[in-house]
Structure 1
Amino acid sequence: MLKEDCASELKVHLAKSLPLPSSVNRPRIDLIVFVVNLHSKYSLQNTEESLRHVDASFFLGKVCFLATGGGRLS
């Protein structure tokens, strides 16, 4: 197996909603993960509102949705 050293860095930025505040020092965004709690109407509404701030060209391979709370009994 070919083993090659590479200098890579992973930075994670957490936000409750979009848009993010403008910042010259903010690194490039490579992936957006929307976390939706299936038991919270507010969570879905917040996700829908945040989607308006994401450019349509960014969706191909750079956005994913993670649904939580599906296994809990009400």
Structure 2
Amino acid sequence: MSQVKLQKIGNSFGFRVSKSDLELAGFDESFDYELIAEKGVIVLVKRRPHNSKWVFKNTALTQEDKAWLESKLESGDK
């Protein structure tokens, strides 16, 4: 376990982490990371690639799509 200090970096704050610690954790500059913060704890995790099979085409909405989007939905509760 390494000991680090919180440091002011420009208008932000940050921790300096040694290269060996980053390599041990499998971190490098080619990935994006997600920061999860809770009281007294900060966790950094590698962002997973998006696996969606949805494909969105750059096409205009049909009249049916527009009508559906503009309609008022009913809850079914009476």
User: By the TM > 0.5 criterion, same fold?
Assistant: no
TM-score (norm 1): 0.21
TM-score (norm 2): 0.20
More RCO (CA 8 Å, sep 6+) = 1
The structure that has the greater radius of gyration is 2
Q: Which has the higher strand share?
A: 2
